[in-house]
């Protein structure tokens, strides 16, 4: 991992957490990328942004705070990108043997896609099919702390509590 150079694109809460963990883990270099300005909403999950950063580019505002975590790591990062961009980056990386992880979150829900190349083998320890849950209803509510929407799952998801 110490020889890895990693690009992180998208510096909302998830992207920042990925960047922070990579820098603290001691990779060779992390590049931060985010073309969007910081918003007031970003302050709820992107803990390296300050009120004074609202309106500034997220990557530029985040860089000095992430870089000071480990002065031996050079820093760059991809989240919150449209599907077309994710597909282009995926094809680019796959053709060149570059390992790719795309992660995204939407409130309580998230997705993760990994492409570690044709030679990467996954060993399934239990043979169970991946689980998914559908959102059956979204209603506007002032009771929700995380935002203006209340998400209700259609039945129990059947997942485990984790390991």
Instruction: Tell whether pTM > 0.75.
Output: no
Give mean pLDDT, residues 36-51.
Answer: 93
Does some domain include residue 129? Answer: no
Does some domain include residue 42? Answer: yes
Does some domain include residue 148? Answer: no
Range of the domain at 62: 5-118
Does some domain include residue 162? Answer: no
Does some domain include residue 153? Answer: no
Higher-pLDDT residue of 118 and 163 is: 118
Q: pLDDT band for position 30 (50/70/90)? A: confident
Does some domain include residue 154? Answer: no
Say which residue the tokens 């959102």 belong to.
135
| CATH code assigned at 105 | 3.40.50.720
The residue among 106, 108, 85, 105 whose CA lies nearest residue 33 is 85
pLDDT at residue 75 greater than cutoff 60: no
Q: Which range among 20-24, 83-87, 92-96, 129-133 shows the weakest confidence by mean pLDDT?
A: 129-133
Domain count, the chain: 1
Distances (CA, A) of 124 to 128, 133, 152, 162: 8, 21, 30, 16
Residue-level pLDDT at 140 = 53
Q: pLDDT band for position 141 (50/70/90)? A: very low
């Amino acid at each position: 991992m110490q020889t890895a150079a990693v690009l992180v694109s998208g510096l909302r809460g998830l992207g920042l957490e990925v960047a922070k963990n990579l820098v603290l883990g001691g990779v060779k270099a992390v590049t931060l990328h985010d073309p969007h300005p910081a918003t007031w909403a970003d302050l709820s999950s992107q803990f390296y942004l300050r009120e004074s950063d609202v309106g500034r580019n997220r990557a530029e505002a985040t860089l000095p705070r992430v870089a000071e975590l480990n002065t031996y790591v050079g820093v760059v990062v991809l989240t919150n990108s449209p599907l077309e961009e994710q597909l282009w980056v995926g094809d680019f990386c796959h053709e060149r043997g570059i390992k790719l992880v795309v992660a995204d979150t939407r409130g309580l829900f998230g997705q993760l896609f990994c492409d570690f190349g044709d030679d990467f083998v996954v060993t399934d320890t239990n043979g169970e099919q991946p689980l998914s849950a559908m959102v059956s209803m979204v209603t506007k509510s002032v009771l929700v702390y995380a935002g203006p929407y209340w998400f209700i799952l259609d039945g129990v998801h059947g997942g485990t509590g984790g390991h």
